[in-house]
Amino acid sequence: MPVAELRPETHPDFELEKEHLSGTVAAMIRQIEFWEDRDRQMGADLETSIILGDQAEEFAAMLSPHVHQPYFGSLKVRVAGREQTLYVGKHGFRDVKGPHTVVSWDSEVGSLFYSQALGWTPRRGSAGVIRRRRQLDVSQKTLLRVTDLYDDEQGGDTGGREEVLLRRLQEGSTAGMRDVVETLQPEQNDAMRHPAGVPVIIQGAAGSGKTTIGFHRLAWMTNADRGAHRARPEACMVLMPNRVLATYAARILPELGIERVVVTTPETWATGLLGLEKLEVTDRTLSLLLTDRDNTRRALAWRKAKLLGDARMLDVVRTHLWNRFNAALAGQALREPVALCGREDQVFTLDEAALAGLLRDVFAADPLDGYRAGMRRAIESLALSTLRVPEDEEASVRRQLATPLTTLLGRIFATTTPITEARRLLGSPAELAASGLLTDREIALLGTDPLSGIPTPRRAHADVTEIPLMLAVQAFTGGIGRLDGRTLEPFDHVVLDEAQDYSPLLYALLGRATRPGHITALGDMNQGMHGYKGPSSWEAVQAQLPGAQVLTLGRTYRSTRQITELGARIAATYNRAAAVQGVDRDGAEVQRYAAPAGPDGELPLIARAVKDAQAAGHTNIAIVTRRGVDAERMAEALREFDTDAQPITTQEHRFRGGVVILPVNLAKGLEFSAAIVASANADTYDESTEYERRLLYVSASRALHWLALVSTGELHPLIA
């Protein structure tokens, strides 16, 4: 096999590539200058000229950041006997006058750079053959390196793709998630380009790039090549498990050119939709599972939580609302005089039976913006047709009916708020039985309160296990989706991170809130920390997302061999899945700091570990503790040991780089050049509890390059 990478000056094409690069930079600058010159953006009249000028300015602003690195790779293709080289960059550029066009990574052709395919069928014209794929490292308008990934003149695959990847993975971490546009791997490329409009579940082990790929898929979805499925960034949403991670991940957005995407947590989204931003969301099931030793009660809490998130609950709620609204209709009627131009006053009347008929139609139509809005529309349109209102008077009739309609709809619907209604339903065995979907045992289970021993906050609160039910009430009454001003519309695309933690009911609701087929779920069934609120398998999710496929990412990229191996040892105790394949990247040995407990506990050991990590060249360093209070206390105490670590202990904190100290629950999803696991022992991470072993795994898998385990006394047996 030929040598994949030649030193820059020895690659035979280095000079040619250098010339092409300076040609491209010059062409881009010329184009930007042209766009910025308002005198040259002339339309037929002043107004058109202004519009053209603004548009050109926007084009210039979009292209400008890419001049310093116009592309990162190229493809040599042969089509109809002619050879052609396509340059691939982060932003498309059309050189109308010369050979310096750049195709965008997320276009149809861009895909050829990442895939292993050797054939190519353009939209028009005859089939082509890929002759060469080449990586071009460019920085500050300078060509640094030429690496051939595939070259049929060198015998095909050169091994270059792996080398380029390894170089990238050697880099230090940053304060935000990074794009991997230049080194996207073939299986990731396939997952990212899963057909637009088809829901997809991307399953992958920790560090396989799921979250990264989810964001790239979103960017890909906004490319014009997606046609009718194209998504607008501002109409997309990403849900992430906590706000620290959401902010960290959102830093990838500008790189991908999709700045206005909403990145938030399911709780924030839900409470916002319910209009209850101040509501405190608890997870009392988790508290019980972690503190209660009574296995019967634990099992009960688990089963109840699971049932609350069961997809059948959607229809249980629907039947309940149907009964309530019908009951509220009793005795209601509408009788309203309506003035019409040139005709004597008409009276619009609706008796109870007519109202009931309309309600039935509205339930059958199941409008996205909810039954209340649907009922208003139904009554209005009936009024317009029975009174034979001419088109130019429709608005006036709607206005005349507005107040009496609001009053009437208030009587039918207003006694319902999502919180009270969901709780009323749960408190009524008869209502729970009405749909016939739940068994007697299940109804009895919903009537139990295994969490009674777990305290509730003083503020208004809701438990994370009740929220899907409340959202279901909201979806049927007020609607669910994206609020644009006052109108509700479906999201263009929704990405779910840690998708193994979303209940089937939540999936059903998110499906309603999003354009059909536009959900991308990223998760790892084996990393589930919260099985009681998640699905039991991906099949349960597929049942809620019609047509969804599960794609598996088989490789992991985050850490060195030494760190990956250590993590695998912990995961093997609970994970029955096949071993994952890590990129074989060599790094420092895992450092172990254990000493008998002295007066200062493990503080001197941690301080030493920080110094050692810094001496090894790392700047982004995390000390991971088991609990938030440990982190808080330790941050303070470490100052005495000449160590300044910023605590990240609430969701309001942000990771800005440097040395930080944070509890494992907030560390999940984040990564650091170096990580130090504090109290890495069996007293802190109980060996007999699977949940604790999972937490230990999360702590030990945050580092890219350098990992230290610290304990006074013996280290945890799984990592000693």
Ligand X SMILES: Nc1ncnc2c1ncn2[C@@H]1O[C@H](COP(=O)(O)OP(=O)(O)OP(=O)(O)O)[C@@H](O)[C@H]1O
CA pair distance 468, 596, nearest whole angstrom: 49
Binds ligand X by CB under 6 A, chosen from 183, 247, 282, 684: 183
How many chain residues are in contact with ligand X, going by CB under 6 A?
23
Which of 538, 614, 540, 608 has the alpha carbon at shortest distance from 577?
538
Give the interface segment with ligand X, choosing from 105-113, 206-214, 254-262, 500-508 (CB under 6 A). 206-214
- Work out whether 212 is an interface residue with ligand X (CB under 6 A): yes
Spell out where 559-717 has E strands. 581-582, 591-595, 621-625, 646-647, 659-663, 672-677, 703-712
Q: What is the DSSP string of 284-311?
A: HHHHHHHH---HHHHHHHHHHHHHHT-T
- With respect to ligand X, which residue has the nearer C-beta, 210 or 376? 210
160 is in an annotated binding site: no
In the complex, least distance from residue 204 CB atom to ligand X, rounded to whole angstroms: 5
Give me the phi and psi of 247, to 5 degrees please. -70, -40
- Rounded to the nearest 5 percent, the helix, strand and coil shares of the chain are 45, 20, 40
- Rounded (5°) CA angle 321-324-328: 135
Tell which residue, 471, 701, 459, has the closest CA to residue 575. Answer: 701
Considering the rule CB under 6 A, would residue 274 count as an interface residue with ligand X? Answer: no
User: Shortest distance, CB of residue 569 to ligand X, whole angstroms?
Assistant: 17
Cβ contact 218:238 at 8 Å: yes
Contact (Cβ atoms closer than 8 angstroms) between residue 236 and residue 247? no
What type of residue is 201? I
**206 annotated to a ligand binding site:** yes
Binding mask 338-367 for ligand X (x = CB under 6 A): ------------------------------
Site string for ligand X, 302-341 (x = CB under 6 A): ----------------------------------------
Residue 265 binds to ligand X (criterion: CB under 6 A): no
Q: Stretches 138-146, 180-188, 291-299, 530-538: which one binds ligand X (CB under 6 A)?
A: 180-188
Tell me if 209 contacts ligand X by CB under 6 A: yes
The answer to whether 587 is annotated as binding is: no
Q: Which of residues 526-545 bind ligand X (CB under 6 A)?
A: 527
Widest CA span in the chain: 98
Q: Applying CB under 6 A, does 671 fall inside the site for ligand X? A: yes
Q: Cβ(663)–Cβ(694) under 8 Å?
A: no
Q: Cβ of residue 505: shortest distance to ligand X, in angstroms?
A: 24
Nearest alpha carbon to residue 180 among 494, 523, 558, 670: 558
Q: Which of the ranges 94-102, 162-170, 230-238, 538-546 carries the binding residues for ligand X, by CB under 6 A? A: 162-170
Nearer to ligand X, 513 or 703 (CB): 703
Check residue 673 for interaction with ligand X (CB under 6 A). no
Contact residue for ligand X among 180, 239, 338, 469 (CB under 6 A): 180
SS3 call for 427:
coil
The answer to whether 206 contacts ligand X (rule: CB under 6 A) is: yes
By Cβ distance, which residue is nearest to ligand X?
Answer: 209
Contacts of 171 (CB under 8 A, 6+ apart): none
The contacts of residue 402 (CB under 8 Å, 6+ apart) are none
Q: Which of 38, 178, 232, 424 binds ligand X (CB under 6 A)?
A: 178
> Which span (8-16, 61-69, 176-184, 454-462) binds ligand X, by CB under 6 A?
176-184
Q: Is 205 annotated as a binding residue?
A: yes
According to the binding rule CB under 6 A, does residue 416 interact with ligand X?
A: no
The yes or no reply on residue 165 touching ligand X (CB under 6 A) is yes
Residue in 557, 593, 655, 685 binding ligand X, rule: CB under 6 A: 557
- Inter-residue contact 129 to 119 (CB < 8 Å): yes
Q: In the stretch 488-527, what mask flags binding to ligand X with x, by CB under 6 A?
A: ------------------------------------x--x
> How far, rounded to the nearest angstrom, does the alpha carbon of residue 390 sit from its chain's CA centroid?
48
The span from the CA of 184 to the CA of 188, in Å, is 6
Helix (H) or strand (E) holding 556: strand 555-556
Question: Comparing C-alpha atoms, which of 690, 683, 606 is closest to residue 642?
Answer: 606
Q: Are 130 and 150 in contact (CB under 8 A)?
A: yes
Stretch that binds ligand X, among 29-37, 181-189, 336-344, 709-717 (CB under 6 A): 181-189
147 binds ligand X (CB under 6 A): no
Show the binding pattern over residues 651-670: x = contacts ligand X (CB under 6 A), - = does not: ------------------x-
Cβ proximity to ligand X, 348 vs 557, nearer residue: 557
Going by C-alpha positions, the residue among 700, 695, 718, 716 that lies closest to residue 290 is 695
- Residue 141 is classified by DSSP as T
Q: Is 211 annotated as a binding residue?
A: yes
Residue span binding ligand X (CB under 6 A) among the ranges 105-113, 209-217, 466-474, 708-716? 209-217
Near ligand X by CB under 6 A: residue from 89, 128, 176, 207? 207
Beta bridge partners of 128: 79, 120
Q: How far apart are CA 28 and CA 434, in angstroms?
A: 67
In angstroms, what is the minimal distance from the CB of 52 to ligand X?
Answer: 40
Cβ burial 532-548 (10 Å sphere, 16+ → b, else e): bbbbeebebbbebbeeb
Minimum gap (Å) between residue 411 Cβ and ligand X: 49
Residue 216 sits in the site that holds ligand X (CB under 6 A): no
Tokens 């209005």 — which residue?
380
204 contributes a contact to ligand X by CB under 6 A? yes
With CB under 6 A as the contact rule, the residue among 66, 493, 558, 585 that binds ligand X is: 558
Distances (CA, A) of 703 to 172, 176, 220, 558, 709: 10, 14, 29, 8, 12
Residue 638 sits in the site that holds ligand X (CB under 6 A): no
Q: Which residue lies nearer to ligand X by CB, 318 or 558?
A: 558
**701 has binding-site annotation:** no
Binding-site annotation: residue ranges: 204-211
**Residues engaged in binding ligand X (CB under 6 A):** 165, 168-169, 178, 180, 183-185, 188, 204, 206-212, 524, 527, 557-558, 669, 671
Binding-site annotation: residue ranges for ATP: 204-211
